[in-house]
Amino acid sequence: MLDIKNNGKLVIKVIDFGLSREIGDPTKKIIGTHIPPIIFKVLFKKNFKCNPSIDLWCVGCFAMELLGLPILPEQLYTNHRESIKDIDSNILKNFISKCLISIKNGYKIEFLKQHPFLFKYNKKIDFKTVVNRYFQLLKNLPIERYSPIEVTDMDRLQSGIIENAIGIKYIGDNFNFKPSHNFKKLKLLSIQGNNTANDELFYQYLYNKLKIFIYNGIFKDAIMINGLNNMNKLKCVILNQYDKPIESCTIPSNVSFLQLGYYSDIISIESFQYLPELLEEFAFDCDEKIIPTIKKEFFPQDISFLYINNKLYEFGNNNHLNETMAFS
């Protein structure tokens, strides 16, 4: 249990909830999770419903206290980046960020338990396996959350059949939306296969609730991807075969997780400076010979770390990439 208040610092409290049961209002109960008043006062304004994610939020606050940082709940909820900007370790900063946004993004303890920060200094654990598992969870979490309907036949996408779907996973070729499609509730769209989606009107039928877009197909040009910019609620974008330069209007500003394809030249990688400023995790592949030439100025200023060729990298004092830990 975390008891966040001035006279509770460095006081360890161990409580066994094994025989407890939930009674009454979850924000006022004595048995189980109790929200500290200073935190609840902020969340109450946001119409937040009490759930286990508040415990992860408190873990983030606890970590900040251990670093001697001030706990300002209002700022942590609305703009937590400002509160943690001075933390030197990018991986720790990312971990605290994940804790603080758990109440918004629905992160669960099973996900955060795989965070690289918790394993970085444990020599007994294969760090490479941990990082791979963490990024796999980043990709899988949204899919599991929305339980998409799997579709293999374009005819099933006709209006009125599954137009109320929250998630759609299309497997097949030649995916194209039609004006008759009406997926106003769609939050996740995953397209897998040798697809070619070249219609300039592609995104006019996705509306503005889409949060996750996964595309593993062929890109004729950048027209289709530029349309992503209209989806201002997108958080997760995976373009497994996208190897084109990034333009300022390519990726929406709210995206926090992005995975692209293989990049063969440094000029295209330099265009990553146009990625959204809120980006926290970014994965791509490239020629190993290019990595020493990659500089921090090619990326948004606040990006936590990079995942290149299945390896985790941070920028060192020389603004060049350093592998976070040597993988065996």
Q: 101-148 pLDDT, tens per residue? A: 777 776 778 788 888 888 877 777 787 888 888 888 888 777 777 778
Mean pLDDT of the chain: 76
For residue 240, count CB atoms less than 10 angstroms from its CB and return exposed for 0-12, middle for 13-18, buried for 19 or more: middle
- Domain boundaries in the chain? 6-113, 142-323
pLDDT band at 308 (very low <50, low <70, confident <90, very high): very high
pLDDT band at 266 (very low <50, low <70, confident <90, very high): very high
Residues 68, 93: contact at Cβ < 8 Å? no
- Cα 24 to Cα 18, 31, 32, 34, 257: the distances in Å are 18, 10, 11, 12, 38
pLDDT band at 305 (very low <50, low <70, confident <90, very high): confident
| Mean predicted confidence (pLDDT) in 279-299 | 91
| pLDDT at residue 9 greater than cutoff 70 | no
pLDDT band at 91 (very low <50, low <70, confident <90, very high): confident
| Mean predicted confidence (pLDDT) in 289-299 | 91
Q: How far apart are CA 95 and CA 112, in angstroms?
A: 8
CATH topology of domain 142-323: 3.80.10
- Cα 250 to Cα 5, 226, 246, 274, 276: the distances in Å are 44, 5, 6, 8, 9
| pLDDT at residue 189 greater than cutoff 80 | yes
Q: How far apart are CA 229 and CA 222, in angstroms?
A: 12
Which residues contact residue 121 at a Cβ distance below 8 angstroms, ignoring those fewer than 6 apart?
A: none
| pLDDT at residue 285 greater than cutoff 90 | yes
| pLDDT (0 to 100) of residue 290 | 92
Which residues contact residue 292 at a Cβ distance below 8 angstroms, ignoring those fewer than 6 apart?
A: 320, 321
| pLDDT (0 to 100) of residue 314 | 83
Q: How far apart are CA 238 and CA 143, in angstroms?
A: 12
Q: How far apart are CA 191 and CA 151, in angstroms?
A: 10
Q: How far apart are CA 229 and CA 231, in angstroms?
A: 5
Which residues contact residue 25 at a Cβ distance below 8 angstroms, ignoring those fewer than 6 apart?
A: none
User: DSSP assignment, residue 272?
Assistant: G
For every residue of 138-165, DSSP letters joined together read HHHHHHHHH-PEEE--GGGGSTTTSTT-
Residues 193, 171: contact at Cβ < 8 Å? yes
| pLDDT (0 to 100) of residue 271 | 93
pLDDT band at 327 (very low <50, low <70, confident <90, very high): very low
Longest CA span, the chain: 64
More confident residue, 214 or 47: 214
The residue written with tokens 């070249």 in the block is: 198
In residues, how long is the chain?
328
Q: How far apart are CA 152 and CA 216, in angstroms?
A: 15
Q: What percent of the chain has pLDDT over 90?
A: 11
| pLDDT (0 to 100) of residue 272 | 93
> Rounded to the nearest 5°, which phi and psi values hold at 187?
-115, -20
- Cα 235 to Cα 1, 87, 255: the distances in Å are 31, 24, 4
| pLDDT (0 to 100) of residue 53 | 75
pLDDT band at 74 (very low <50, low <70, confident <90, very high): low
> Which tokens sit at 83?
């509160």
The residue written with tokens 């194209």 in the block is: 176
More confident residue, 31 or 106: 106
Q: Which residues pair with 282 in a beta bridge?
A: 258, 306
| pLDDT at residue 151 greater than cutoff 90 | no
| pLDDT at residue 180 greater than cutoff 70 | no
| pLDDT (0 to 100) of residue 291 | 92
| pLDDT at residue 326 greater than cutoff 50 | no
| pLDDT (0 to 100) of residue 319 | 77
| pLDDT (0 to 100) of residue 232 | 77
> Which tokens sit at 95?
């971990």
How many beta carbons lie within 10 A of that of residue 305, not counting itself? Answer: 21
> Which of 69-78, 81-90, 176-185, 192-201 shows the highest mean pLDDT?
81-90
Residues 307, 135: contact at Cβ < 8 Å? yes
Which residues contact residue 69 at a Cβ distance below 8 angstroms, ignoring those fewer than 6 apart?
A: 83, 84, 86, 87
Q: How far apart are CA 254 and CA 276, in angstroms?
A: 7
